[in-house]
Structure 1
Amino acid sequence: MKHGQTEQFLQEQGKAASRAYLMISGLYLAIYYGIGAFTPLIAQYYHSIHLTGTQIGLISSITPLISIVTQPMWGIICDRFQVRKRVLFLTLLAAGLVVLFFTRAQTFGQVIVLLTILSVFQSAVIPISDSLALAYGKKHNMPFGNLRMWGAVGFAVSALVTGLLIQLWGPKVLFFVFAAAFVLATLFLKKIPDDTEGARLHASIFSGIGSLLKIPRFTLFLFGAFFIYGAVNAHNLYFSLFYQHIGGSVAGVGLAFLLFAGSEAPCMKLAAMITRRWGLEYTLLTAGIISTARWFWYSTAPNTLIVLLLFFIQGLSIGFYLAAAAQYVRENTPGTLQVTALAVFMSFGQGLGAVFCDFLGGIVMQYFGILQTYLFLGLASGLGLIPVLLICFGPWKRQTAS
């Protein structure tokens, strides 16, 4: 190839990489805009149809319980047949359609049925989008946090805007926002290059999970995620009730999530530098310690102004944890099982761990109050630090630099 042709080829490659970056960033922005409308504000809808604390805890356990089964299965399908984009496209559309039926639901039973169906499709969205971003980041030597931070931006803006819309038109508006955001996400997805798919896997479709669970560093990480990430998911559900309990408003909940999730974006970008200096393991440990301390502090009923002023705690805990966790999974599992490994991680954190924290948190709230729910989350998150400590200092400590 001549010099001029080589230069033109490199320029075209650079433009293609830039387009892919923009499309993946847009995908994250849209997906988490939908999640930011749904997750932190759905409790307002549950209260509007007069559900009890125990019912809210039970309903909130459905999505993580379903994801325990469906996330690994979606991962196995994607890794076996390399159809990540097609599966993600279909599940985004299906979730966007199903969520609109919530506008007609008025009973506990109707919500259970709809949330079960929604959870089957929604459980595929995050692990598959993460795997596409990780594949792009690996190919172009880009930290995962630089892509994932756009999800935090979408979540932050949506929580504020949707909170204001709820004050104007009621809690059902969040379902329309969710549906529109997921449909928009499919438009970005269609323009992501197919070279993020990777190589086809020829192994048995059921052998992958067994192989992953034989890796001690990965298994310990999963047990840590069960408690730490499970508590984070429960916080997303119960925060709006907590914030109003300590004197805040519904609009204030949106502002709080704007600040909280907004702090995740720069921290996810900063996480790349921190992990290079400290390593992934110590970054995860630091994030877990900050997160645990935060839940204990919330249980003391702090002033709403102080909660807002210390918004950056979310970035230093959840932002660091999510950015480091995805890279930890990638570096400690086989490349041919990337989606499966991410799905198993989500199943433990957003699945089993969230079932545990959501359900028990709802019972604690009904009988003892929302402040004791956060005390419970602090205790649960503290238990999650034990396996992370074993990763950092135990016999499975990595001997070479991360």
Structure 2
Amino acid sequence: MSDAAQSRRAGLQIRSLYLFIFLFLGGYGNFFPLWLGDMGWSDPAIGWLEALRYACLLIFPLVWGRLADRWRDSVRTLRWVTFGSALAFAPVVIFEDAIGISIALGVFFAFRVGLVPNTDSVTISHVRQTGGEYGKIRVWGSAGFIAGGFLLGFLIEQWGRAIVPIPLAILLALTWLLTLRMTPEERGSAAEERPQRRALELFNDPKLRPLYLITFLSRLASQGLFAFLPLHLQALGVSDAMMPLFWSVGVLSEIVLIRAAPRLFSSWSNKSVLTLCLCAAALQYALTAVVESPWLLLAIMLLHGLSFGVWYVTSVLHIGEHAEPGERSTAQGLFQMVGFGLGGILSSVAAGYIYEGGQGALLFGVATGLALVTLTAHLKVFPREDDAPEAG
């Protein structure tokens, strides 16, 4: 097979992987909290379950990232994390008690949290070797998120919410099978330092430390919102069939803006792009706190393309620019650990109690205040850049 054909094949495999990853997330994010509610879980209990996922994000992204760097092949790591994810989630289909579900999901989270950072690492390596744009590959995940929500919503309309874990388990198995077909990654040798020392060195890098700090603050402000948005929409009268429409609007704006980012922000620095994204986040949360019309909330969800989509892509590209190839998976794992792990666990636990105390208005109001703190910190600590980076 020619080099060009191999490159096209590898690109298609990565796109397909993003598609399957986010097919699962689209179904899980829209309906798993509602399924848990039907199983008798309270709002704080759902928050604690999300906190368990973020607790795994405190440890395992760095473990899987360092393992990929030592193997010099993130695809090999992807095979292990997808296999472990599929195996661990399977008992959720048959368990009914909260303890059994919590144990199964705890093991599942330990594997699953290594999936996205290693996929991002494979993608960055691929585009640096063959050309192209990370954002145009990543949008396949956004499309998968939309499709996953609507497909599971259709199944729920036919058979009820009790079916939720079954298609999710099937998607996890298919994702593992896909990784078995992927082309192994080729890159340079990994650094030899111990994982703890390398992680500290990466965290203290003057180009990366501000990003990690802002990522922590932004996830502290917002990550707990994701589990409770379906409950907030349900309280406003949104039906199960319409639930995926809200995230779909947000993710469609992701797709459009991520694809347009290289043209829109070609002359912008990373700091400028991230400033715009953080402003959009504060505005999105503030409007969601006060707007009660579901149709107006649909329009507000358009801000998600900036507040998360462009923010995430710019952050991943910033890491790719400043981390060496042999430590790139570790750097991406640290990004997940500090922001989505530490920030996520604090946000998720707090969100459960805040939502119980004041429902969506209070939850999104608190998020607005934290988003403004994040924006202020970003303007103060994120370094200026002489050269405008690639935005997507």
Aligned residues of 1:267 and 1:320 also touching (Cα < 8 A):
yes
What's the counterpart of residue 147 of structure 1? 137
Q: 1:204 corresponds to which residue?
A: 193
Q: Which of 272, 282, 293 is the aligned partner of 1:292?
A: 282
Q: Which amino acid aligns with 2:186?
A: E
Q: What is the CA deviation profile of residues 136-171 of structure 1, one whole-angstrom value per residue up to 9, with x for unaligned ones?
A: 011122221011100000011111221232233233
Q: Which residue of 1 aligns with 2:224?
A: 234
Task: Tell me what 1:264 maps to.
Answer: 254
- Structure 2 counterpart of 1:6: none
Q: Shift of residue 230 of structure 1?
A: 4.2
Structure 2's unaligned 5+ residue stretches are: none
Identical counterparts, % of pairs: 18
Deviation of residue 315 (structure 1)? Answer: 1.4
Match of 2:310 in 1: 320
Deviates more, 1:240-249 or 1:146-155: 240-249
Alignment of 1:329-344 (within 5 A): 329-344=319-334
- The amino acid across from 2:388 in the alignment is A
Partner of 1:251: 241
Further displaced range: 375-384 or 354-363: 375-384
Unaligned runs of 5+ in 1: 1-8
Structure 1 residue 397, shift from structure 2 partner? 2.0
How much does 1:283 deviate? Answer: 1.2
Q: Kindly tell me: are residues 65 and 326 of structure 1, through their superposed partners in 2, closer, same or farther at Cα, counting changes over 3 Å?
A: same
- CA deviation map 1:82-137 (0-9, x unaligned): 24212211211221222221123333322321221111110110001110011001
Partner residue in 2 for 1:397: 384
Q: Matches of 2:157 and 2:340 in 1, distance apart?
A: 29
Partners in 2 of 1:309 and 1:387 — Cα distance?
Answer: 28
Whichever residue aligns with residue 64 of structure 2, its letter is W
Partner Cα separation in structure 1 for residue 279 and residue 73 of structure 2: 38
Q: Secondary structure at the match of 1:197?
A: coil
Q: 3-state DSSP class of the match of 2:123?
A: helix
Map Cα deviations across residues 47-86 of structure 1 (whole Å, 9 max, x no partner).
Answer: 1112222111111100011111111111111112224212
**1:397 corresponds to which letter in structure 2?**
R
Displacement of 1:202: 4.1
Alignment of 1:1-400 (within 5 A): 12-194=2-184, 196-206=185-195, 207-392=197-382, 396-400=383-387
Q: How far apart are 1:217 and its partner, in Å?
A: 3.0
- Check conservation: 1:164, 1:254, Cα contact below 8 A: no
User: What is the alpha-carbon distance in structure 1 between the residues aligned to residue 267 and residue 276 of structure 2?
Assistant: 13
What is the root-mean-square deviation of aligned Cα atoms in Å?
1.9
| Residue 230 to residue 173, structure 1, CA distance change in 2 (3 Å) | farther
Deviation at 1:275, TM superposition (A): 3.8
Stretch moving more, 30-39 or 169-178: 169-178
Using the size of structure 2 for normalisation, the TM-score is 0.93
Q: Could you say what secondary structure the match of 2:149 adopts?
A: helix
Change (3 A) 1:352 1:236: same
Residues 160, 257 of structure 1: 8 Å contact kept: no
AA in 2 matched with 1:325: S
CA distance in 2: counterparts of 1:49 and 1:244, whole angstroms: 16
State which drifts further: 283-292 or 178-187.
178-187
1:338 positional shift: 0.5
Contact kept, 8 Å, 2:225 with 2:363, in 1: the verdict is no
- Post-superposition shift, 1:336? 1.9
Say which SS state the counterpart of residue 289 (structure 1) adopts. Answer: helix
Moved more, 383-392 or 57-66: 383-392
Cα displacement (A) at 1:188: 3.5
Name the amino acid aligned to 1:356. Answer: L
Query: Is the CA contact 2:82–2:176 (under 8 Å) kept in the aligned structure 1?
Result: yes
Aligned length: 388
Cα distance, 1:187 vs. partner? 3.9
Instruction: Provide TM-score, normalisation by structure 1.
Output: 0.91
C-alpha contact 2:219 2:347 (8 A) present in aligned 1: no
Secondary structure of 2:14's aligned partner: helix
Paired residue type of 2:8 = S
The DSSP-based 3-state class of the residue aligned with 1:99 is helix
Q: Is the 8 A contact 1:88 1:125 kept in 2?
A: yes
Q: Sort the Cα spacing of 1:350 and 1:131 in 2 relative to 1 into closer, same or farther, 3 A.
A: same
Q: Secondary structure at the match of 2:224?
A: helix
* Equivalent-residue separation in structure 1 for 2:87 and 2:159 (angstroms): 21
Shift in CA distance, 172/284, structure 1 to aligned 2, threshold 3 Å: farther
Partner SS for 2:223: helix
Query: Residue 275 of structure 2 contacts residue 378 of structure 2 at CA under 8 Å; is this kept in 1?
Result: yes
Cα distance in 2, alignment partners of residues 346 and 202 from structure 1: 20
Q: Hey, which bits of structure 1, 4+ residues long, moved more than 4 A?
A: none
Tell me what 1:3 maps to: none
1:389 deviates by 1.3
* 1:100 and 1:179 in contact (8 A); partners too: yes
Conserved? CA contact 2:33–2:46, under 8 Å: yes
**Structure 2 counterpart of 1:205, one-letter code:** R
1:323 counterpart letter in structure 2: V
> Which stretch of the first structure deviates more once superposed, 347-356 or 148-157?
347-356
